[in-house]
Amino acid sequence: MEGRDLSLADRLVGEIDKLIKVLTVPARASRALPASAAVEPLSPADQAASARLMRVNHAGEVAAQALYQGQALTARDPAVKAAMNQAAAEETDHLAWCAERLTELHSRPSVLNPLWYLGSYAIGAVAGALGDRASLGFIAETERQVEAHLRNHLQRLSPKDLRSRAILEQMTHDEMLHGAKAASMGGQALPLPVTAAMRATSRLMTQGSYWI
């Protein structure tokens, strides 16, 4: 379908296909799983705690896929649309890494992931419809909040869980770059009530994914 305008039906089928793939097809990373050379066994309690944290991070990456895809759908500037699609591709690495680590920890993704995907997709589409500067500002603020969230998780991980730590450190680095790029492309600062609502939504997703 490259090289021609897509009908609404074509685009709808394409977006549904993306949803199904994110939720059901194992993500493939373009980069190797970050890992420390030293790997120490975890106690059952530490393993369970790491699994819950990585389940939250996996859910966050599912939401990130949806958010970027929703924004790309309604972006006006082709350069902004391309940046959104590129960021979604880079976030696929994070999704794959978190999924692999969950398997290593003998755990599973959150059963609430379909809800997070649909909600984030809708939010992304609305943000994109508000204009490219607002959409880029939304990405910059999202990445700032994600960076703070990841740093909190790094503090909560067992010192022995070097494998999860390496993944979260690389994710933190990537999120900082995504946020900086969005800001450099003209993202505008969001009103305080919007950033507060974003934090509240993030807390809801974090608490739900941590346990379910």
Residue 159 carries which DSSP code? Answer: T
CA distances, 178 to each of 6, 55, 59, 87, 138 (Å): 28, 22, 18, 7, 12
Residue 92 has which token pair? Answer: 């696929």
Main-chain phi, psi angles of 127, to 5 degrees: -60, -40
In the chain, helix, strand, coil percent, each to 5? Answer: 75, 0, 25
152: CB partners within 8 A, 6+ apart: none
Q: What percent of the chain has pLDDT over 90?
A: 29
Domains delineated in the chain: 44-211 (1.20.1260.10)
Give the model confidence (pLDDT) of 41-81 as tens digits: 899 999 999 999 999 999 998 888 888 888 777 777 887 77
Q: Does the pLDDT value for residue 36 go beyond 70?
A: no
